[in-house]
Amino acid sequence: MTNRPRLRLGQSLAPGVLAVALFGAMAMIVLNTGFADEMVGFPAGISVTSEIGYALFDFTALQSAEGSIGDTEPFLAAFLLVAVVLDAALDAALVLAKRETEGEPVAALSSRTGATPGTTGSDQVAATDGSGRRRESADESAASDTAAESGGDS
């Protein structure tokens, strides 16, 4: 006999209620935002990027005076806030991607099959020319070079 699904009330309920409340708040903000018939943008011929850059490095002499964007500090604050948030996200991704086994960090591309670090436990010579075939040893290479110099008569 099967049982019907039951709603788990406890710690798993709080994140769900919070997510629904956040969705409701975002929906109310979007639905109640009024947009003007005529959108007002930045003045023509003014580069917003250069104005933010000048504000970042405090180059007030280089900022355009005629028809310029008034205060670029709010743009600068938003720019720095986004930079800090992206840096925190990158740090969090690195922390989450790091694996540990028995308290020791594990590299993503390590191979521990050989006796010493860096060996793979095989006796084959690695092909580094990308052809996939086994490379010849130095003795075989020297023998083929002398055969080629003599015109192949060996």
Q: Answer for the pair 65, 43: CB distance below 8 angstroms, yes or no.
A: no
Confidence of residue 73 (pLDDT cuts 50, 70, 90): confident
Question: Can you give the residue ranges of every domain in the chain?
Answer: 71-111
List, as one string, the DSSP characters of 35-96: --SS---PPTT--HHHHHHHHHTT-TTTS--TT--S--HHHHHHHHHHHHHHHHHHHHHHHH
pLDDT in tens, 46-63: 777 877 777 778 777 776
Confidence of residue 81 (pLDDT cuts 50, 70, 90): very high
pLDDT in tens, 86-138: 999 999 998 888 777 777 777 666 555 555 555 555 555 666 666 555 555 55
pLDDT in tens, 10-37: 777 888 899 999 999 999 999 998 877 7
Report which DSSP code applies to 99: E
* Residue 116: predicted pLDDT: 54
> What pTM was computed for the model?
0.37
Amino acid letter, residue 16: G
